[in-house]
Structure formats: structure tokens, C-alpha cells
Amino acid sequence: MPERDLLTDIVILTLFFLLLYTITYVATHYPEVSSFISELLSSKAVRAVLALIALPMGIIFITLGIRLMLGFMVGKGRLALGFILIAIGVAMFLYAISTVIGLVSEVISRFIKSFTQVQPP
């Protein structure tokens, strides 16, 4: 039985990395897709809403991944699914934190600029 679980883990991880490769390939070889994503994410409001959604979802995914890997939920492929959930959760969490830091630093720099501008006489 453990050999089947290992095989299931390997298949699930292979499919996950194949999906990542496909997404990367489409984003790099089709400029219209890249420009659409870039245009969509250029809005600060969209980035803030995505960060607001990604922060709790990232924590939930990390928690579920850890629970799966520790074996609280029984089933085939739990190690691979746990790894995938942790990887997605960490990516979402890092995106949320970096977006919030970027938006806050931009607000602070604009605030400082508004007070340091010299008015012409």
C-alpha cells in the first residue's frame, strides 16, 4: 500500500508542475495574455482587493497543507496535495504582503513628496 501512496504523490506533483509550466509558457509566448494581465493588475484597487482576498486564503491553504502532510486527513496523495496547498498558500501570502508593502510605501512617498515640494514665489 505505501508504494501506491508514493506513486499517487508523484503523479499529483507531476500534474501540478505541468500546470505551472503551462501557465508560464502561455504567459511568456503569448504577448496578448501578458498585456491583459499587466493591464488588469496595473490598477491599485484591483491589487488591494486581491491582496485582501489572498491573505486569509494563503493562511487557510498553508494550514490545510500542513494538516494533510501531518496525516490528520486520511487518503492517497496527501503528501503531494499538502505540498501543493502549502506552495500555493505561501505564494498567496507573499503576494498579499508584498502588495500591501508596495502600496503603503507608495502612499508614504507621495505624502513626503507633497510636503517637500518647493512652491515657486
Block residue for cell numbers 507573499: 94
From the list 77, 88, 70, the residue with the least C-alpha distance to 23 is: 88
pTM metric for this prediction: 0.69
Cell of 93: 501570502
Q: Which residues does 16 contact at the CB level (< 8 Å), separation at least 6?
A: 80, 84
Report helix, strand or coil for 4. helix
**Hey, what's the torsion of the CAs at 26, 50, 62, 83, to 10 degrees?**
0
Give pLDDT tens digits along the chain (121 positions). Answer: 455 667 777 888 888 888 888 888 887 888 888 788 788 778 888 888 888 899 999 999 999 888 888 876 566 677 888 888 999 999 999 999 999 999 889 889 888 888 787 666 6
